[in-house]
Structure 1
Amino acid sequence: MKWIGALILLCATTWGGFEFARRLTERPKQIRQLKNALQVLEAEILYGHSPVIEACEKVARQIPEPMAWFFYEFSDQLKESSASLYDVWEQRIQSFWPLSALGEGEKEIMKQFGQTLGQHDFTGQQKHIRLAISHLERELKEAEEQQQKYSKMVKSLGFLTGLLIILLFM
């Protein structure tokens, strides 16, 4: 019975390490998707002259999940709600962020971007989108560095932590 418990504990800690490593791997991928989404949003607003609701729907159809969920839910909630655009943006960020692998830096960038969304003319909006994209590029570099630095270590640490706990209790 001890061995079964030890095996379950070892599997659980190893799985935890692999899950954390997966999040480290997903973060740069999702930042790239977010940058792509902002570029599509820029094109829809500036060149398609689409209102924010329509632009976000088009963005949601063109990008992969989980980023598509954010923009789809945002446009749906804008249609149904009488709250301000920023309030809806903030609510969507709060509910979406735990489901993603994105970090606090990206969250803050998106919050700041949400404060400017729909508040300026086309050129002003374009500047704010480009600013958000440049900030996301900085976060992308950091995320890639973290992935390279910590991914293997976290996997090994999960396994070794389980092994240590088993040895301490045996």
Structure 2
Amino acid sequence: MWLKIFGSLMIVTAGACIGFNLAARYVERPRQIRQIISCLLALKSHINYVAVPLPEALSQCTGGITGPVADLFHIMSELLVNNGWLTPQAAMSQALTEVNLLVLKKQEREVLAVFSANLGGMNREEQHKSLDLVHEQLSRIQYEAEKLCEQNVKMYRYLGVCGGLAVVIVLA
């Protein structure tokens, strides 16, 4: 009897954990997009006003930000410093594959790939316009991600708990 109750409790807990983990990914995505936008705005000011080299600007643009987004820009900066032959686009794609905790979808990764392809290959005015365009695209994506977050977070939490309860009922 106690073994059944303990097993049932474990199944419900596992289902709830799965649901809460899926919900956490939906909560994390808009936050990471906001952090990327913040880093890009700082990068724009470093490029336009301070005029520091790109690797230094990439490492400085993450001021006050921690986590996978900061790691992304730091890794990209280190790759550009250590491998002088590496392009910003190649450094960005390699950094995106190295940082495992990013919950960015294909759409954000494509915007970052286009951004990094244009980075360093234009004059300041064109880079300023390119960064403004990327900011606009990421803001739109962030708005859509926040809408998805509002819709799906509660659903996945309830689904995890209810799915665990359904498994317990079926097995009982």
What is the TM-score when the length of structure 2 is the normalising length? Answer: 0.92
Amino acid at match of 2:49: Y
Unmatched runs of 5 consecutive residues or more in structure 2: none
Contact 2:79 2:86 in 1 (8 A): no
Deviation per CA, 1:25-82: give whole Å up to 9, x if none. Answer: 1111111111110000000011111111010111133433231111111111211123
In the alignment, which residue of structure 2 is the partner of 1:55? 57
Q: Summarize the alignment of residues 92-103 of structure 1 with structure 2, pairs less than 5 Å apart.
A: 92-96=95-99, 98-103=100-105
SS in 1 for 2:50: coil
SS in 2 for 1:100: coil
Q: How many residues get paired?
A: 169
Q: Among residues 128, 139, 142, which one is paired with 1:140 in the alignment?
A: 142
Instruction: Show structure 1 runs of 4+ deviating over 6 A.
Output: none
Q: Summarize the alignment of residues 73-152 of structure 1 with structure 2, pairs less than 5 Å apart.
A: 73-81=75-83, 82-96=85-99, 98-152=100-154
Unmatched runs of 5 consecutive residues or more in structure 1: none
C-alpha distance in 2 between matches for 1:128 and 1:94: 24
C-alpha distance in 2 between matches for 1:100 and 1:151: 18
Percent identity over the alignment is 30
In the alignment, which residue of structure 2 is the partner of 1:72? 74
What is the TM-score when the length of structure 1 is the normalising length? Answer: 0.93
